[in-house]
Amino acid sequence: MNDTQMKSIDFEQLKKGNHTFIIAELSANHNGRLDVALATIKAAKRAGADAIKLQTFKPETITLNVDSEYFYANPNGPWAGTRLFDLYKKAFTPWEWHAELFAAAKEEGLLCFSSPFDKTAVDFLEQFDPPAYKIASFEITDIPLIRYAASKGKPMIISTGIATEEDIELAIATCREVGNHEIAILKCTSQYPAPPKEARLATIPQIAKQFNVLSGLSDHTLGIEAPVIAVSLGGKIIEKHFILDKSIGGPDAGFSLDEKEFTAMVQAVRNAELMIGEHSFELNEKTKQSRNNRRSLFVSADIKQGELITETNIQSVRPGQGLHPKHYEEVLGKKAKKDLAAGTPLSFDDLI
């Protein structure tokens, strides 16, 4: 576990600090088993996540139980040919599990919150006093849902996978209209998995600048490169699908990280944070010592008293005990006050 693991979602702390808030998305990766969900929470803690995120819906609150061409998954996606109601029936997290999942996360020292998909889910989740609400990409146009969730006064984290610029503006405005100004917008590509060329991570700093919100990444690419790049671009929140073991399968297994992969991602993000640091031209003690090996002017051939200083008897070399090389032209043509042996650091005191 990272020693600086967050105990709450403090947006001001995220803005000013360099600790990225890392969310392990459970989604459907419990594969219908409570024991797997509980084990996944423990694994997320071991992997270094700050939070575990659930999805709170019922099949009938997210789609209709009808057999119509409109209600089938994208024919070009991973769930092609699947009726939406059947997909969500397989993927949903039973509501009766939530109390145990929230309790397990608390015991592990993880924050736990969820993506509600309708008002009844918000009402249900309120009993657990979640530290935030997450609005999924496909719900960014559900303005009544966003308004209702934001009205609860908790930080709002909103993904943009299918959003236009206008959708983002409207979602943010909706939160602010009800007095909620703790808003994070996550760049997201709603492809499963998302091709690297479609990640468009340069949008992350633009989101923060253009909308005056926290920005981050909800990542569907394979691997761990995108989160590290996102952090280097100023992303403050990283969300990644997490699975206990890919062999258990499930709707999201193909684009989720297992414990080993997630651990590597967290470590890479934490290393990136250290490397980014704060902007400074100050030298640390070790670097100051290394300055002793900088270039300076040394006598490169024996010089007799009264002899002229020329390009043949002085040289800019390492280490740094002689005159600064900026004085090279200045000392040419001067005379030596005394005999100077090769290897002597050149000084103005030695010249006339």
**Which among 267, 332, 343 is positioned nearest to 302, based on CA atoms?**
343
Confidence at residue 7, expressed as pLDDT on a 0 to 100 scale? 62
Confidence of residue 2 (pLDDT cuts 50, 70, 90): very low
Domain boundary among 240, 255, 276: 276
Q: Are 121 and 270 members of one domain?
A: yes
Q: Are 204 and 314 members of one domain?
A: no
Q: Are 104 and 170 members of one domain?
A: yes
Q: Are 123 and 188 members of one domain?
A: yes
Over residues 67-96, the pLDDT tens digits come to 888 899 877 777 777 899 998 898 899 999
> Which amino acid is present at 240?
K
CATH at 234: 3.20.20.70
Confidence of residue 16 (pLDDT cuts 50, 70, 90): confident
Q: What is the average pLDDT score of the chain? A: 93
Over residues 193-203, the pLDDT tens digits come to 899 999 999 99
Q: Are 248 and 296 members of one domain?
A: no
Residue 143 inside a domain? The answer is yes
Q: Are 258 and 296 members of one domain?
A: no
Domain that includes residue 308, residue range: 289-350
CATH at 308: 3.90.1210.10
Confidence at residue 284, expressed as pLDDT on a 0 to 100 scale? 83
Residue 75 inside a domain? The answer is no
Residue 85 inside a domain? The answer is no
Q: How many CB atoms lie within 10 A of CB 203?
A: 19
Residue 126 inside a domain? The answer is yes
Are 255 and 219 in contact by the 8 Å Cβ rule? The answer is no
Over residues 96-111, the pLDDT tens digits come to 999 999 999 999 999 9
Confidence at residue 259, expressed as pLDDT on a 0 to 100 scale? 96
- pTM for the complete prediction? 0.86
**Which among 279, 184, 267, 188 is positioned nearest to 224, based on CA atoms?**
267
Over residues 138-153, the pLDDT tens digits come to 999 999 999 999 999 9
User: What is the domain count for the chain?
Assistant: 2
